[in-house]
Amino acid sequence: MKIRVILLVLVPVTAVLLVLLAGSAVAWRFFIFCLIVTAVSWLWSHISLRGITAETSVTAETRRAGETVGVSFSVENNGRIPLPVLEVEEVTSLPDYRKDRAFTLPAHSLREWRAVIPCTHRGSYNLGELDVIVADPLGLFPVRRRFGDAHNILVYPAAIELPFFQVIPRRQMGQSPRRWLASETGASASRVREYVSGDSLRHVHWPTTAHSGRLMVKEFEPERSHYSYHSVRIIADMNADVHHGRGSETTEEIAVTIMASLVKKYLESGKDVGLAAAGDQIYRHEPGHNVEHEEQLFHSLAVMKAQGHIPFARFLAEEAYRFDAGSAVIVVMPAEGQDIAAPLQRAAARGTLVNIILLDSASYGGWTFAQPVARNLASRGLNTYIIRRGDDIASALDSRLSAETAAFAGSEVY
């Protein structure tokens, strides 16, 4: 930049002063030389750019967070002027990515390359455009032109496996959560796995235990006749006032990850899945099960933001009339002490399976601890799970480890 100022301003001004003061032929020739160099440099840049063509190609329109997307670029110099230095900038709104290149491009030559761009965050982004910068040999007049078409790519949130999460019926006084989980044990064992706390010793598979040297238990096909359900509704609190955290470790991102994981789990199991949230807009999808419906659910989860201002208790009360017998409702929310028990209790009394997943706000920088909120909900017969910052989500949502009992007993886990 400093060199350009010197060449374009100071040198011509100096030449003019010499002409005015000295009036010599050398000063006149120097001034004319400066004008010619300036004109030639300007023409060089603009004529060179006219001979440039560029194309881009994007390999996909959707990706999941953690995956990559490929973009192919090609730049061709169709002119007769060789370009000793050509600068290109890949234009994308995807976060954590910026790539500039500089290379020589002779006359009538082509340069191709492929970029692999990481998709680190869910959302809707543009990519596939290319800025080409051409300059004259002195670098006095760089000119820029954008090539290619902006392609929109939707990055779905990451979805993790939740193999041991199950919706559990409303707790009745005198019942143990172990009794509910025992009702899921069918007559036929489908596999064996390593023992975890909460498994019955009656299900130990002794031959495999002796062979492996580790305590192994039989895993049975679920028997769901005790509490079958045909659809699952996922309801999320996306009020801006209750979410906390910074960067990727926020209650908003954890809530979306949990919702995406639940959607994936129940769609793959053949259930009709619905979604509702009051965030930057009202998101409402009635339960369904087909490819188009799945795309709509994940599209909403990709762009959803915790920017709403509708109190979740009010939103939940408005949604509760949709909860019917034979369906399951999973509420995902930061623990902020909102009184949500009444509409959920009424839904449970009608035969809806209600489960609540609480995000511990205090562990994300908020003021409310999840344990008292979970204890209050559990005392009203509502099944709760607690997820704190840094928790393994699949382990925290393991129905074999009674989250509700833990809410009563403090640190004790059954």
User: In this structure, is residue 172 part of a structural domain?
Assistant: no
The CATH number assigned to the domain holding 142 equals 2.60.40.10
pLDDT digits over 202-245, tens only? 778 888 888 888 888 876 544 443 457 889 999 999 999 999 99
pLDDT at 16: 64
Count of CB atoms within 10 A of residue 225's CB?
Answer: 8
Q: pLDDT tens-digit profile of 9-25? A: 566 666 666 666 666 67
d(C-alpha 120, C-alpha 142), whole Å: 33
- The answer to whether the beta carbons of residues 240 and 220 sit under 8 Å apart is no
pLDDT band at 173 (very low <50, low <70, confident <90, very high): very low
Is position 267 within any domain?
A: yes
**Whether 209 and 245 share a structural domain:** no
Q: Looking at the structure, do residues 299 and 378 belong to the same domain, yes or no? A: yes
Q: What is the pLDDT of residues 339-366, one digit of tens each?
A: 899 999 888 888 889 999 999 999 999 8
Phi then psi dihedrals of residue 55, to 5 deg: -135, 150
Does residue 13 lie within any of the structural domains?
no
Out of 63-77, 168-182, 198-212, 396-410, which region has the weakest mean confidence (pLDDT)? 168-182
Calculate ∠ Cα 312-260-402, nearest 5°.
Answer: 75
In CATH, what number is assigned to the domain containing residue 238?
A: 3.40.50.410
Answer yes or no: is 41 within a domain: no
Note whether residue 19 is domain-resident: no
> Is residue 14, in this structure, part of any structural domain at all?
no
108: containing domain: 50-156
Cα(344)–Cα(17) distance, rounded to whole angstroms?
Answer: 86
Asked if the structure places residue 32 within a domain, the reply is: no
Residue 371 has pLDDT above 60, yes or no: yes
For 359, phi then psi, to 5°, come to: -95, 125
